[in-house]
Amino acid sequence: MPDEIPPKPNVEPLTRIQILVAMGVTAVVLLIAARLWLLLDSSVQLLSLTWSLSDVLWGIGLGMAITVASAIVYRLWEAYRHSADYYLELVIKPLAVPDLVWLGLLPGMSEELLFRGVMLPALGLTWFGLGISSLCFGILHFSGSQHWSYVVWATTIGFVLGFSAIETGNLLVPIVAHVTTNLISSCIWKLSSE
């Protein structure tokens, strides 16, 4: 049975400035939430963030693998394709190509700091902590019940990013992977849709 195609929501298109401001505000809110968590719970320590060329390369490789996996899922899962198209149309279409750097950096750093840097160690570097932090990451990407597939995908990616953080012990790996994925996939979509 084919996936049901979700109706396109009747949403007024956002301007380039509105999207850039929303990205900036969201990043600041996530950074403040991470900082407050650390301040209010002194038992939580930020996951280590250390510079390592091998971890940067691991992050780039993981980001490229996630991008390829996303392209495969996009082709095979109709509900995800429609959810991704809705998001890409809403967020990326109004942006200029240089703005995509911000789309890579702001969510990549702020989301990873909160979900993998603070939440994951707070819940425990265990399967339970990994599962709950991944689910919370997926829920952050909720944009309406007709786009549940995007939440499933984001939860899965949150799990992969969290697992990479646990395995390497370095927050740099999921940050680089997240930034790489956002940059590559948004550039591909932006350049192929013009």
For residues 185 and 153, the answer to whether their CB atoms sit within 8 Å is no
What is the predicted pLDDT for the residue at 12?
Answer: 74
Tell me which residue has tokens 């786009």.
Answer: 147
Distance CA 23, CA 12 (A): 18
Q: What is the pLDDT of residues 82-106, one digit of tens each?
A: 999 888 888 999 999 999 999 999 9
For the chain, first and last CA: distance in Å?
33
How many folded domains does the chain comprise? 1
Confidence check: pLDDT of 194 > 90: no
- pTM, two decimals, is 0.92
Task: Identify whether 93 is part of a domain.
Answer: yes
Tell me which residue has tokens 């407050």.
Answer: 36
- 104: region left, alpha or beta (phi > 0 left; psi from -120 to 50 alpha): alpha
Task: Identify whether 2 is part of a domain.
Answer: no
DSSP per residue, 50-119:
---HHHHHHHHHHHHHHHHHHHHHHHH-HHHHHHHHHHIIIIITTS-GGGHHHHHHHHHHHHHIIIIIII
Task: Identify whether 91 is part of a domain.
Answer: yes
What is the predicted pLDDT for the residue at 160?
Answer: 98
Phi, psi of 171 (to 5 degrees): -65, -20
Task: Identify whether 181 is part of a domain.
Answer: yes
Q: What is the pLDDT of residues 123-174, one digit of tens each?
A: 999 999 999 999 999 999 998 888 899 999 999 999 999 999 999 999 999 9
Q: Which domain holds residue 96?
A: 52-193
What is the predicted pLDDT for the residue at 143?
Answer: 82
- Classify each residue of 138-166 as buried b or exposed e, where b means 16 or more C-beta atoms within 10 Å of its C-beta: bebbebeebbbbbbbbbbbbbbbbbbbbb
Task: Identify whether 6 is part of a domain.
Answer: no
Q: In terms of Cα–Cα distance, which of 178, 167, 59, 157 is closest to 113? A: 178
Q: What is the pLDDT of residues 44-87, one digit of tens each?
A: 999 999 999 999 999 999 999 999 999 999 999 999 999 998 88
Distance CA 172, CA 109 (A): 9
1 vs 142 pLDDT, higher one = 142
Confidence check: pLDDT of 2 > 60: no
What is the predicted pLDDT for the residue at 69?
Answer: 97
Q: What is the pLDDT of residues 5-49, one digit of tens each?
A: 555 555 678 899 999 999 999 999 999 999 999 999 999 999 999
Task: Identify whether 102 is part of a domain.
Answer: yes
